[in-house]
Amino acid sequence: MAETGPPDDPSEDERLRRWREERRRIAAEERDRRLVKELDTGAPAIPKPEIPVDLRNLRIKAPDPGHEPAEPNASTTNEIDEIQARMAIWRRARWHRALALFVVCVLAPLAAVFGWLTLATKPLYETRAVLTISQPKQESQTAPPGLLGAIGAPQGMAQVFMADEFVRSPALVSAVLDPALAPRLAAEGLGDLVLLSHDALASQIDSSVNIQTGMMTVYARMPEPAQAVALARLVLDLVSTHVDDLGADLRDKRLSVAQDSVNEARASLIEAKRALVALQIEHGELDPRTRIEGIYQMIAGTESEIVALRTELGRVEVAGSGDSYEAKRLRELLEKLDALVERERRSLLEPRGGTTSLNALLMDYETANQTVSIAEETLSAALASLASAQSEVALGRSVLQVVVPPLAPGKPEYPRIMVALFITLVIGLAVFFTARLVLFDPD
């Protein structure tokens, strides 16, 4: 007897069909709510995960091989078309919002910058002048310290850097706006400069230094080519005057130091000679060395006579005439000569008439004479330094030379519209993509 399958349960099929319809209805409602949320906020909503169905409580009948799948009904097709239409509306709304954001972040700033640069900004013509400051090299000069000495910078680089700092400083702006230059400014068409602020005028003047060549470039910007050339020439004149004033101040200080050294050396020499003369007048000795040398010569001659007399006395005593008149006379003469030598020697060491001894006088005289010699040598060296300083000051003046004079420019240099538009475009695109990511895709 053949086995047969379990009979179909109509109630089971009906329950499965109702469950499927309920799931389709819930899915459609979820899609509708998600689309409404996306249209309201402009960002796609994340679908909530569906609650899994416990299939253990479901009894699904095995499909019949001879049974054809059911065709989708009309309600399902309409729901799909409605969802696709809503998605198309959402995409168009999203694209419109992105376009509006692009216009606000990119196109509007570009138009504003372009309009401001072309309509509200005056074109500026820029002219350039190249100058150098030469200075004769002195024998006493050494290589400059630091980086300039290491790279073998040419002479005058210190003056070039000082001129560059002067051009970049507010001192140049103050010099340009000096009331004493008002007639020149008016004559050269630069009268409008007095109406500018210090910062605005400083932005129209600039400079740079080429370390390798030792040259300085001055930039001047004005609304008219002739005005730019006139401003550049004015800046060159002010720089030349400033360099000359700095050099004159340095030369004056150097000569003042050398002259002070000469005056101090001369005063020291005069004081030393006064002390020497006072010493000579006090002791009544023009040169105590002469007297002392005479004393020593007399002592030496007397001692020679004493030696001769003692030799003669010895010969007499040997001859047996020690008690004779001649022997007595020789002894008396020796005593007198010994007393004379002793007295002369004491005169060198003992004070004379309440004053110092001859040896002390000689020491004071030698000290005073040496002081005079040192003062004379110091004065000679100071005079040589003064002469050298005067020579270097006369030959070492810095000379400002204009290598390339300022010429009238053919076209305006500022504003640089393409550069400004490119920078604005880069910034606008960065802002656009950042805002788009934050507003449209927050998750």
Q: Quick one: which H or E segment has residue 105?
A: none
**Residues 125/224, Cβ–Cβ less than 8 Å:** yes
Considering only residues 339 and 405, tell me which one the structure prediction assigns the higher pLDDT: 405
Highest mean pLDDT among 253-257, 365-369, 377-381: 377-381
Considering only residues 400 and 422, tell me which one the structure prediction assigns the higher pLDDT: 422
Q: Does residue 59 surpass a pLDDT of 50?
A: no
Residues 6+ apart with CB under 8 A from 188: 227, 230, 234
**Residues 155/172, Cβ–Cβ less than 8 Å:** no
- Under the banding of pLDDT at 50, 70 and 90, the label for residue 328 is confident
The whole-model pTM stands at 0.52
Amino acid letter at 165?
Answer: E
Q: How far is CA 83 from the centre of its chain?
A: 70
How many C-beta atoms surround the C-beta of residue 167 within 10 A?
22
Which phi and psi (to 5°) does residue 132 adopt?
Answer: -140, 155
Please report, for the chain, the start and end positions of each structural domain, with discontinuous segments joined by +. 83-121+415-442
pLDDT of the residue at 275: 84
CB neighbour class for 354 (10 Å; exposed up to 12, middle 13-18, buried from 19) = exposed
CA angle 186, 124, 212 (to 5 degrees): 100
Closest C-alpha among 274, 272, 269, 292 to residue 361: 292
Considering only residues 408 and 48, tell me which one the structure prediction assigns the higher pLDDT: 408
- Largest Cα–Cα separation, the chain: 202
- Distance, in Å, from the CA atom of 408 to the CA atom of 278, rounded to the nearest integer, reads 78
> In the 8-state DSSP scheme, what is residue 145?
S
**Residues 355/283, Cβ–Cβ less than 8 Å:** yes
Q: Does residue 373 surpass a pLDDT of 50?
A: yes
